[in-house]
């Protein structure tokens, strides 16, 4: 199998949202009138972002899911993506499973694979995703205001607990492990939630590196601080089996849940409750934006908690 056979066999899919897809020197797409193009890229490297030997079907789903999550965090409709692959070898079984997983996720969210690049090298998967959002309505990190509530979707910490288990730092009971593994291996991008947060949230992002680190990004970009009430942060109750320090690390600093974190004015609380109903997602108020800078975590009783793990940083 040469490079061109590999591409046409595994990565040439129908592209209903594109004018021209895989096979030429470039793809061609058209934006609908009144829409802005939202573009984001994410690269996953074996041994750093996923364990060597990860199931290729699940991996194909996940690498696209984490990119879809960035579209969700902008409030954009995901439309197109490119796939750049470095592969150690042209392994037909691996490619078939990987492309099937990615294609299932692409179909589920209506995104078209419009091109990419394929080369030999240590397993690396880079996606550039593109979406459309009504001009001027994208969810930025920079528009939160002191006094806004801070919200999160979904329970946090499940994915981080699965990572701790695989690293041998904890041993999760058999009844708890599958839940945590599915949070880590098969995250659900919150695209519908993101679309519906336009006009409600003042700022948003997806939690990929941990709540504290990601909330800090909203603070920095919006020029304010945030207080998080530890007791309000939702997590799967099954994680109560973890020692307290590890539980706190998982829910405050654990990445990989790909839930959304967002700020909204107090007067939007009733609309948030309705949105939780219509999306079927738990939406939880976990704190508030304040004047100043930085993230403070408040323990029950209002004392500040010393927090050591601020989030994942590849160069720390």
Contacts with Mg ion, residue ranges (CB under 5 A): 117
Instruction: Give the one entry of Mg ion, ligand ADP, none that residue 220 binds, where binding means its C-beta sits below a cut-off of 5 to 8 angstroms depending on kind.
Output: none
- Residue 313 binds ligand ADP (CB under 6 A): no
Instruction: Give the one entry of Mg ion, ligand ADP, none that residue 24 binds, where binding means its C-beta sits below a cut-off of 5 to 8 angstroms depending on kind.
Output: ligand ADP
| Nearest-approach distance from CB 40 to ligand ADP, in angstroms | 17
Instruction: Give the one entry of Mg ion, ligand ADP, none that residue 108 binds, where binding means its C-beta sits below a cut-off of 5 to 8 angstroms depending on kind.
Output: none
| Nearest-approach distance from CB 25 to ligand ADP, in angstroms | 5
| Nearest-approach distance from CB 55 to ligand ADP, in angstroms | 19
- Residue 44 binds ligand ADP (CB under 6 A): no
- How many Å apart are CA 260 and CA 262, to the nearest integer? 6
Q: Which of 118, 124, 182, 196 binds ligand ADP (CB under 6 A)?
A: 118
Any idea which residue has 């700022």 for tokens? 203
Q: Whose CA is closest to 131, among 71, 90, 172, 197?
A: 71
| Nearest-approach distance from CB 125 to Mg ion, in angstroms | 16
- Residue 25 binds ligand ADP (CB under 6 A): yes
Residue closest to ligand ADP, measured at CB: 115
Site for ligand ADP in 57-116 (CB under 6 A): 83, 85, 113, 115-116
- Nearest to Mg ion of 69, 99 (CB atom): 99
- Nearest to ligand ADP of 83, 176 (CB atom): 83
| Residue numbers at the binding site for ligand ADP (CB under 6 A) | 7, 11, 22-25, 83, 85, 113, 115-118
């Amino acid at each position: 199998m040469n490079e061109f056979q590999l591409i046409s066999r595994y990565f040439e899919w129908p592209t209903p949202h594109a004018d021209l897809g895989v096979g030429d020197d470039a793809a061609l797409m058209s934006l609908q009138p009144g829409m802005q193009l939202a573009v984001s890229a994410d690269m996953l490297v074996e041994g750093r972002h996923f364990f060597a030997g990860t199931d290729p079907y699940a991996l194909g789903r996940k690498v696209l899911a984490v990119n879809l999550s960035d579209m969700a965090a902008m409030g954009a409709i995901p439309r197109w993506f490119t796939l750049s692959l470095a592969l150690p070898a042209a392994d037909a079984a691996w490619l078939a499973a990987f492309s099937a997983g990615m294609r299932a996720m692409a179909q589920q969210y209506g995104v078209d694979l419009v091109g990419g690049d394929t080369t030999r090298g240590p397993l690396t998967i880079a996606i550039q995703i593109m979406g459309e959002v009504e001009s001027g309505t994208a969810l930025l990190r920079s528009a939160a205001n002191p006094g806004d509530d801070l919200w999160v979707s979904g329970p946090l910490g499940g994915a981080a607990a699965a990572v701790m288990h695989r690293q041998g730092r904890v041993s999760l009971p058999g009844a708890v492990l599958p839940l945590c593994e599915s949070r880590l291996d098969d995250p659900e991008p919150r695209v519908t939630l993101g679309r519906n947060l336009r006009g409600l949230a003042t700022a948003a992002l997806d939690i990929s590196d941990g709540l504290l680190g990601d909330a800090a990004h909203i603070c920095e970009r919006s020029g304010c601080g945030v207080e998080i009430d530890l007791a309000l942060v939702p997590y799967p109750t099954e994680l109560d089996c973890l020692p307290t320090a590890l539980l706190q690390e998982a829910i405050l600093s654990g990445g990989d849940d790909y839930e959304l974190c967002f700020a909204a004015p107090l007067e939007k609380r009733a609309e948030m409750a309705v949105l939780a109903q219509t999306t079927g997602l738990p939406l939880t108020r976990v704190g508030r934006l304040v004047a100043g800078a930085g993230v403070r975590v408040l323990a029950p009783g209002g004392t500040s908690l010393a927090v050591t793990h601020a989030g994942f940083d590849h160069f720390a």
